[in-house]
Structure 1
Amino acid sequence: MTSMGQGPVRMRNLSMHALLAIITSFVITGCASGYKEFYTPSSGATPEEISANRASTPPATPLVERSAFGDADQIVDRYAKRGYVIIGESHFNSGERVSEEDALEQGKAVGADLVLVYLPKYTGSITSSMPITTPTTSTSFTSGSANAYGPGGPVTAYGNATTTTYGSTTTYVPITVNRSDYGAIYFVKGRFRLGVFVRNLNDLEKQLLQTNQGVVVRTIVDDSPAYKADVLVGDMLVAIDGEKVSNEEGFTKMIAARRGQAVRLALIRNGTPLLKTVQVGK
C-alpha cells in the first residue's frame, strides 16, 4: 500500500516593509532640480549685463533669506530699496521632497548675491494606488512508502520528493502625495547711477498731468544719489534737464546718457512742481 502526504509552503521574497520602502523611495526621489528646471531669467538679465551693472563680483556662496509667498512686485520693491536687482526666478509645484540647497546651487550657477527662498505652500493631496509586483515561490514536499512481496519475503521502500514552482504576485498599495508650491528669486547687488525705480503713468495720472509722458517713482534705493536729494516714492518725473521724459524706457536711457553729470529733475509732488539737482553716478 502506498501512503502520501503533501504540505504546500508559499514564501515572499520581499516583506511588506520592503514594499513600503520602495514606494517611499519612488515618492521622495526626484530627478532634476525644480529650481534649475523652472528657472526664468529676467528680461535683459544677460551675463554681460549683470556683470556690467553689479556692485561687486559674485560671492562663493549667496546669502539666503526666506519669505512666505506674497505680492511679487512688493517683494521685489522691498529688495530694490536695499539695492538688490532681480536677475531671475524659479516657480514650480511638486509632490516630491525639495531641498533648499537646490535653490542655493541655482543661485551660485547664475551668480546671485542673494537668494530669496519662498516657504513651501501646500496646495493639496493626490491619493492613488501603486502596483508592486514581487516574485513568489511555492514548494511542495512529498513523501511515500511502498510494500512489495517476493520469494524472500515482504519489502518496504520509502521516498521523498520536493517540487518548487516560481511565480509572482501583485499588491496594490494606496499612497498619498502631498503637493506644494516652491519658488525662489535671485538678486544681485546693483551699482546705481541714480537709485530710482520708476513705472509708467496710469490712466488717472495721465489725466492729472494732462499728458501721456512721464514716470512715477516706485522705489528709492537707500543712500543712493536720489535718496540723498530727497526724491520720494510717488513723485512724478516729467523732465530731465528740460527734456521731457517719455516713459520708463526713455527715463533709463536719459540717465545712462548722463553718467557722472549733475542733472536737474523736474517732478510733481502732490500737485506741486519741484526741481531737484542730483549728481548721477558713473
Structure 2
Amino acid sequence: MKKILMHLLVALSASLAITGCSNNYKQFYTPAPGATPQAISAARASAAPPMPTLERSSFGDTDQIVAGYAKRGYVVIGESRFNTGESISEMGALKQGRAVGADLVLVFIPQYTGSTTSSVPFTTPTTNTSYTTGNATAYGPGGPVTAYGSATTTTYGSNTTYIPITVNRSDYGAIYFVKGRFRIGAFVRNLNDLERQLLQTNQGVVITTIVDDSPAFKADVLPGDMIVSINGERVSNEEGFARMSSARRGQPIKLSLIRQGRAIEKSLTVGD
C-alpha cells in the first residue's frame, strides 16, 4: 500500500507541475471597456516601467478600492478574477501587468471559499502464477513405465485503488492600473434622474473623484459638485466633458458648478 501511495504522489506532483505552468492571471484577464493599447498609451502620464509596482489588498468593495486609486491618479485598464485549488504565485499577476503595460498591479490576498473532495483512481498491474505437477504410468511388454511432469501458468491483470483527495479552493484576483495624465483631474459621471430634476436639465456631470494635486484639486473643486458649463459652454455628459477638457489644454478656464444647491465658479488652468 505504501508503494502505491508513493506512485500516486509522484503522479499528482507531475500533474500539478504541468498545471502550474499556465498563468491564470493571463487566462482570466478582462480589459476595461475601451482600454485598447492605443487608448492606454494616450492616457498614461509616462512610459510603462520594466515591471509594475505590486500592492496588496483584501477583497472588498471594488468601487471603493478603485476610487481610492483614482484619487492617487490611477486608471483601471483591466482585471483578473478566478477561483482555484492551486497555489498561485503573485509573479503571474506581475507578468500579466507587464504584458498589458500596467504601472501598478493590485493583487488581492487569496480568500478561502471551501473544500472539495473527490476520489482519484490509481491502477497498478497484477500477476498471478500457478504451478501444477502430475505423473502417469503406462504398462507395456517391458513392464510399467511412469512419467513425471510440471507446468507453470501466469495470468496478468490490474488492481484499481481509489484515493480520496481534498482540495482547498480560494478566490484570486488582481486589478491593473496606469498612472493617468489629467488635464483637469476630475472623474465624472452622468446625471441621474433626481439630479436632472434638481437642475431642470438633462445636461451636466457630477464629480465623483478629485485627483490629488491636480488643477481641480488646487482650485478646491470637490467631489459631489455638478459641472454645468466650461467658459459658459454647456457640458452635455461625460463624453462632452472629456472632449471640452481636451480642446482646452494649457488654457485657463472657468468651471460653473452647482454645490449643495448653490451656483459657484472655480478658475483653473487645464494641464497639457
Question: Following TM superposition, by how much is the alpha carbon of 1:28 offset from its aligned partner in structure 2, in angstroms?
Answer: 6.9
Question: Following TM superposition, by how much is the alpha carbon of 1:54 offset from its aligned partner in structure 2, in angstroms?
Answer: 1.1
Superposition map of 1:240-255 within 5 A: 240-255=230-245
Superposition map of 1:5-44 within 5 A: 14-23=3-12, 25-26=14-15, 29-30=18-19, 32-44=22-34
Question: Following TM superposition, by how much is the alpha carbon of 1:161 offset from its aligned partner in structure 2, in angstroms?
Answer: 6.4
**Whole-Å Cα distance in 2 between the matches of residues 171 and 23 of structure 1?**
15
Question: Following TM superposition, by how much is the alpha carbon of 1:14 offset from its aligned partner in structure 2, in angstroms?
Answer: 5.0
Equivalent residue pairs, number: 270
Q: Percent identity?
A: 66
- Counterpart in the other structure of 2:140: none
Matched, 1:278 2:252: no
- Counterpart in the other structure of 2:179: 189
Match for residue 258 of structure 2 among 268, 273, 279: 268
Question: Following TM superposition, by how much is the alpha carbon of 1:25 offset from its aligned partner in structure 2, in angstroms?
Answer: 4.7
Matched, 1:110 2:100: yes
Q: Which moved more, 1:24-33 or 1:210-219?
A: 24-33
Does the CA contact (< 8 Å) of 1:193 and 1:225 recur in 2?
yes
What is the CA deviation profile of residues 180-207 of structure 1, one whole-angstrom value per residue up to 9, with x for unaligned ones? 2211110111111111101112222222
Superposition map of 1:209-224 within 5 A: 209-224=199-214
Superposition map of 1:43-82 within 5 A: 43-82=33-72
Match for residue 234 of structure 1 among 215, 224, 238: 224
- Segments of structure 2 that go 5 or more residues without pairing to the other structure are 138-145
What is the CA deviation profile of residues 44-88 of structure 1, one whole-angstrom value per residue up to 9, with x for unaligned ones? 211112112211111111111111112211111110111111111
The alignment partner of 1:15 has SS state of helix
**Whole-Å Cα distance in 2 between the matches of residues 259 and 53 of structure 1?**
14
**Whole-Å Cα distance in 2 between the matches of residues 176 and 258 of structure 1?**
61
- Counterpart in the other structure of 2:162: 172
- Segments of structure 1 that go 5 or more residues without pairing to the other structure are 1-11, 149-155
Question: Following TM superposition, by how much is the alpha carbon of 1:260 offset from its aligned partner in structure 2, in angstroms?
Answer: 1.1
Question: Following TM superposition, by how much is the alpha carbon of 1:136 offset from its aligned partner in structure 2, in angstroms?
Answer: 2.1
What is the CA deviation profile of residues 157-197 of structure 1, one whole-angstrom value per residue up to 9, with x for unaligned ones? 99886554322111111222222221111011111111110
Q: Which moved more, 1:188-197 or 1:93-102?
A: 93-102
Matching residue's letter, 2:208: R
Matching residue's letter, 1:86: V
What is the CA deviation profile of residues 115-156 of structure 1, one whole-angstrom value per residue up to 9, with x for unaligned ones? 00111122222222122222223344x4869799xxxxxxx9
Alignment RMSD: 2.9
